[in-house]
A and B are shown apart, each in its own frame.
Chain A
């Protein structure tokens, strides 16, 4: 199984990845900038994401909204920011490929002359509303703030969330936007992928024409930081919720590092879906939880695994905790069954094939090529990525669980209904979240 591509590097260092797929008359344009909230600093959080919003507000030669001409040409488009990268994409009919390249190159090369205090202040308000909608006004919405702050030390760039702190967003000044753009938004820190129905020579010519003259800019060095947990941290806070919820989190290997795929499969077999061990015990048999889920969240310089379960009415988080601890210990001691390993393997294969179905958007083929290129410098990594999952054995998975899902180096968080601090898991202290 392959995700084929051709890679070119323009004179200014911009990586260009081309993947032809003529099945449907559409082309995906996907740009990654290797910058995210981990490039921020305490007191200035939320900035990378706020900046992403400004990229849709017009650039020097098209000083109007970014959406209008593209939607008028039949495009769909969006962008997103996470801890490690910012991406922007359009999916356009083939006849609008040049338009999309014009627009993307104009904001890569000429954003700042169009940036005004009014746009900046408007998008700051929009982002504060995004934060209210997706975090503050949502049940359990502040959990990521508490977990990340407890897992990573204050000077580690995964200590804060990508949406950022309210006070930081309110304090940020327009001149910081200029400095940020100059430092991170240029060809030497970007990767462009095209996928879909286009002629590669023609497309490369257009890319070179529109992007080739943009100044390379400085290369951005890697962010270095380390984190470790030496004991268990037990926290709780009150929220506008009906049922208490328990979170466990551990520090784990970074994306693509040894143990990452093992923990991805381990969290699946522990708590994802009705076949998982914890669903069976907590929800199906004992009925003490209403839901349970888990994930290995692998990021560029570190990862964290998480298990989440919500208590059924009249059941204590301590009961749920005991079952989770027991199931992890059993997996660490005995490892998975052959059937679990076989299922994990087939599911990984299916998920990788499903990923080949779409050229654009979040997670489409163009986005995957950029991910492999930006994080590994190797867009050909698709099939080796699947290999990582096929290489997982019962013994490697068992070892990863034993090593990383350690009950003594863990964050335990309870979110309980207002006024019901007594429902938090035993021994928890109040976490401050905002």
Chain B
């Protein structure tokens, strides 16, 4: 122990370095409360007042994403999302972006398996103009053929470039091997053949049928009141009709649930245990290890979140401490249950130095197997994992954009309004036994697929001793 005198207000105080200071009682935190209403056309409007900084985050969630791509049209939802800001009414794409720039807006379009999200953050004095622009791009995109040709071409070029990005190659190949023809079997960007076959009419049809107010929620968080947003939004989105046609993409009400049931019943392929995408002389192997497991609505959600924290969800997780801090094989390793509306992937991802490929896979699979029972979670690990999730929870609600994203999760996964309030106690109820139970139930080492993007000779050495069989070799052009 080292104790040294230090001056504070003229008094000498001792610094106790013999032990770490214990945190005192936590400060209470009031979670954002959501005000909700529905516009006449069915568009849900959710707002949270958060007036610290004169900023408003607006987010339009459409519960329809890449999983709704029709057969042979992988990439249609993403292309449609990409076309939204490519001109509206008489305005060109550039004019739309000039209008956004004149109000200093941050503007983004995101696409996932289950949703398209168009979002913008602006100074609050521009809220009305931002809502009008948001409506223009989502409801009244021009969807011109010449713009479509350009956007499609850029996306094809992007696909070409992704062939050289090991992480992107790994993600796409992994989804294909896990899900096959299931709606989650392709990345949102789609494939070269599907993009080549796509027409602007596909985009127009998809837009008309999938991007509808009944499938959408407008979320506004910031220096704004619900009534004011409702008034502006009613005006801005007044001519967004409820529509009539329905694609498989429609994701609200009974039809949406029917789509999910039919997708869920589609058989998943039988994945190989080991697959390799050759990348000659690569200095690292990009690895994905996992399988399909439960969806976001599993009652085991909180226990799986805690289990993942301990296994590979934080810096001090078992897998990162092993592969990075003990072995030095990697810059970082992590695992995740990538929860979605339908059965979702559990995946470990890591880039390891090529010479350590087989040993890293052996260690990683060992850690996944061990946490189910052979080396169960200790009370100390549980306390650490739980505390990391709960004690810092307030931090996720600091900015308007963070709150909007948190609220969006409720809308996307049909979570109750008191979800934030119950999160901490639900996490705190998880026990060590429950971690073992849910990991045994939902993760099976014998079913894990291991995918390597790396040098076939150097990374391939010693793979035989993993006992996973011969690797299935995939060429980047085939997925």
A interface residues (Cβ-Cβ under 8 A, vs B): 11, 21, 23-26, 60-62, 65, 67-69, 71-76, 91-96, 98-99, 102-103, 106, 110, 121-126, 128-130, 132-134, 136-139, 197, 205, 208-210, 212-213, 240-243, 273-275, 280, 283-284, 287, 290, 310, 312-313, 339, 342-343, 346-351, 353-354, 356-359
Tell me if B153 counts as interface (CB < 8 A to partner A): yes
Once the chains are docked, how many angstroms separate the CA of A310 from the CA of B154?
11
User: How far is the CB of B270 from the nearest CB of chain A, in Å?
Assistant: 31
Q: Is the CB of A210 within 8 A of B15?
A: yes
Contact with A along B5-29 (1 / 0, CB 8 A): 1111100010101101101111111
Q: Is the CB of A75 within 8 A of B392?
A: yes
For B27, B121, B160, B314, the residue with the greatest tally of chain A CB atoms inside 10 Å of its CB is B27
User: How far is the CB of A358 from the nearest CB of chain B, in Å?
Assistant: 6
Q: Is the CB of A71 within 8 A of B384?
A: yes
A-B pairs under 8 A by CB, number: 228
Neighbouring B residues of A129 by C-beta, 8 Å: 284, 328-331, 351-353
Tell me if B150 counts as interface (CB < 8 A to partner A): yes
Neighbouring A residues of B90 by C-beta, 8 Å: none
Once the chains are docked, how many angstroms separate the CA of A69 from the CA of B398?
23
Q: Which residue from chain A places its CB closest to the CB of B3 in the assembled complex?
A: A213
Q: Which residue from chain A places its CB closest to the CB of B164 in the assembled complex?
A: A139
Q: Is the CB of A351 within 8 A of B104?
A: yes
Neighbouring A residues of B157 by C-beta, 8 Å: 243, 290, 312-313
Q: Is the CB of A137 within 8 A of B351?
A: yes
Q: Is the CB of A284 within 8 A of B93?
A: yes
Q: Is the CB of A274 within 8 A of B395?
A: no
Contact of B395 among A24, A69, A241 (CB under 8 A): A24
Q: Is the CB of A60 within 8 A of B398?
A: no
User: Which 8 A/B pairs are nearest by Cβ-Cβ distance?
Assistant: A74-B391, A350-B104, A125-B328, A74-B392, A61-B17, A95-B23, A130-B331, A274-B97
Neighbouring B residues of A312 by C-beta, 8 Å: 153, 157
Tell me if B36 counts as interface (CB < 8 A to partner A): no
Contact of A76 among B29, B351, B387, B395 (CB under 8 A): B395
Q: Is the CB of A25 within 8 A of B394?
A: yes
Neighbouring B residues of A342 by C-beta, 8 Å: 102
Neighbouring B residues of A132 by C-beta, 8 Å: 283-284, 351, 353
Neighbouring B residues of A110 by C-beta, 8 Å: 2, 17
24 A-B pairs with CB atoms under 8 Å apart are A25-B27, A67-B316, A71-B314, A71-B388, A72-B384, A72-B388, A73-B391, A93-B23, A93-B26, A95-B24, A99-B21, A137-B166, A139-B161, A205-B9, A209-B15, A210-B15, A242-B164, A313-B157, A342-B102, A343-B98, A347-B104, A350-B103, A354-B55, A356-B53
User: How far is the CB of B171 from the nearest CB of chain A, in Å?
Assistant: 15
B interface residues (Cβ-Cβ under 8 A, vs A): 1-2, 4-9, 13, 15, 17-18, 20-21, 23-29, 52-55, 85, 93-94, 97-98, 101-106, 121-123, 150, 153-154, 157-158, 160-161, 163-166, 282-284, 286, 314-316, 321, 324-331, 351-353, 383-384, 387-388, 390-395, 397-401
Once the chains are docked, how many angstroms separate the CA of A132 from the CA of B316?
22
Contact A346/B104 with A133-B351, A275-B94 known, Cβ cut-off 8 Å: yes
User: How far is the CB of B329 from the nearest CB of chain A, in Å?
Assistant: 7
Once the chains are docked, how many angstroms separate the CA of A403 from the CA of B26?
57
Contact A76/B392 with A65-B325, A137-B284, A358-B399 known, Cβ cut-off 8 Å: yes
User: How far is the CB of A299 from the nearest CB of chain B, in Å?
Assistant: 25
Q: Is the CB of B154 within 8 A of A290?
A: yes
For B102, B392, B397, the residue with the greatest tally of chain A CB atoms inside 10 Å of its CB is B392
Q: Is the CB of B161 within 8 A of A350?
A: no
Neighbouring B residues of A25 by C-beta, 8 Å: 26-29, 394
Q: Is the CB of A274 within 8 A of B94?
A: yes
Neighbouring A residues of B150 by C-beta, 8 Å: 284, 287
Contact A139/B97 with A61-B17, A213-B5 known, Cβ cut-off 8 Å: no
Neighbouring A residues of B121 by C-beta, 8 Å: 354
Neighbouring B residues of A283 by C-beta, 8 Å: 154
Neighbouring B residues of A275 by C-beta, 8 Å: 94, 97-98, 101
Neighbouring B residues of A65 by C-beta, 8 Å: 316, 321, 325
Once the chains are docked, how many angstroms separate the CA of A111 from the CA of B132?
56
Q: Is the CB of A137 within 8 A of B283?
A: yes
Q: Which residue from chain B places its CB closest to the CB of A61 in the assembled complex?
A: B17
Once the chains are docked, how many angstroms separate the CA of A133 from the CA of B332?
10
SS class, residues of chain B in contact with chain A: mixed
Neighbouring A residues of B154 by C-beta, 8 Å: 283, 290
Q: Which residue from chain A places its CB closest to the CB of B99 in the assembled complex?
A: A275
Q: Is the CB of A240 within 8 A of B164?
A: yes
Q: A93-B391, A125-B328, A139-B164 are in contact. List 19 more A-B contacts (CB 8 A).
A: A26-B392, A26-B395, A65-B325, A72-B387, A95-B23, A103-B20, A122-B326, A133-B330, A137-B284, A137-B286, A139-B161, A209-B8, A242-B164, A243-B160, A284-B93, A290-B158, A310-B161, A313-B160, A350-B104
Once the chains are docked, how many angstroms separate the CA of A411 from the CA of B163?
28
Once the chains are docked, how many angstroms separate the CA of A275 from the CA of B94?
6
Neighbouring A residues of B55 by C-beta, 8 Å: 353-354, 357
Neighbouring A residues of B7 by C-beta, 8 Å: 11, 208, 212
Once the chains are docked, how many angstroms separate the CA of A151 from the CA of B225?
52
Q: Is the CB of B394 within 8 A of A93?
A: yes
Q: Which residue from chain B places its CB closest to the CB of A94 in the assembled complex?
A: B27
Q: Is the CB of A209 within 8 A of B13?
A: yes
Neighbouring B residues of A95 by C-beta, 8 Å: 23-27
Once the chains are docked, how many angstroms separate the CA of A213 from the CA of B13?
10
Once the chains are docked, how many angstroms separate the CA of A94 from the CA of B54?
25
Q: Is the CB of A60 within 8 A of B104?
A: no
Contact A26/B394 with A68-B316, A350-B104, A354-B121 known, Cβ cut-off 8 Å: yes
Neighbouring B residues of A212 by C-beta, 8 Å: 6-8
Neighbouring B residues of A205 by C-beta, 8 Å: 8-9
Contact A357/B97 with A137-B283, A287-B150, A290-B154 known, Cβ cut-off 8 Å: no
Q: Which residue from chain B places its CB closest to the CB of A26 in the assembled complex?
A: B395
Once the chains are docked, how many angstroms separate the CA of A26 from the CA of B394?
7
Neighbouring B residues of A339 by C-beta, 8 Å: 98
Neighbouring B residues of A67 by C-beta, 8 Å: 314-316
Q: Which residue from chain B places its CB closest to the CB of A136 in the assembled complex?
A: B283
Neighbouring B residues of A103 by C-beta, 8 Å: 20
Neighbouring A residues of B394 by C-beta, 8 Å: 24-26, 93
Once the chains are docked, how many angstroms separate the CA of A212 from the CA of B4?
10
Q: Which residue from chain B places its CB closest to the CB of A124 in the assembled complex?
A: B328
Contact A354/B106 with A91-B395, A132-B284, A213-B5 known, Cβ cut-off 8 Å: yes
Neighbouring B residues of A98 by C-beta, 8 Å: 21, 23
Neighbouring B residues of A99 by C-beta, 8 Å: 20-21, 23
Once the chains are docked, how many angstroms separate the CA of A347 from the CA of B122?
10
User: How far is the CB of B104 from the nearest CB of chain A, in Å?
Assistant: 3
Neighbouring A residues of B13 by C-beta, 8 Å: 209
Q: Which residue from chain B places its CB closest to the CB of A242 in the assembled complex?
A: B160
Q: Which residue from chain B places its CB closest to the CB of A347 in the assembled complex?
A: B104
Once the chains are docked, how many angstroms separate the CA of A240 from the CA of B399?
40
User: How far is the CB of A41 from the nearest CB of chain B, in Å?
Assistant: 25
Contact of B164 among A60, A61, A241 (CB under 8 A): A241
User: How far is the CB of A289 from the nearest CB of chain B, in Å?
Assistant: 10
Once the chains are docked, how many angstroms separate the CA of A327 from the CA of B460?
50
Once the chains are docked, how many angstroms separate the CA of A124 from the CA of B329?
11
Once the chains are docked, how many angstroms separate the CA of A125 from the CA of B327?
8
User: How far is the CB of B452 from the nearest CB of chain A, in Å?
Assistant: 13
Q: Is the CB of A23 within 8 A of B52?
A: yes
For A21, A121, A123, A353, the residue with the greatest tally of chain B CB atoms inside 10 Å of its CB is A353
For A95, A103, A349, the residue with the greatest tally of chain B CB atoms inside 10 Å of its CB is A95
Neighbouring B residues of A284 by C-beta, 8 Å: 93-94, 150
For A128, A129, A136, the residue with the greatest tally of chain B CB atoms inside 10 Å of its CB is A129
Contact of A357 among B52, B105, B390, B392 (CB under 8 A): B52
User: How far is the CB of A172 from the nearest CB of chain B, in Å?
Assistant: 15
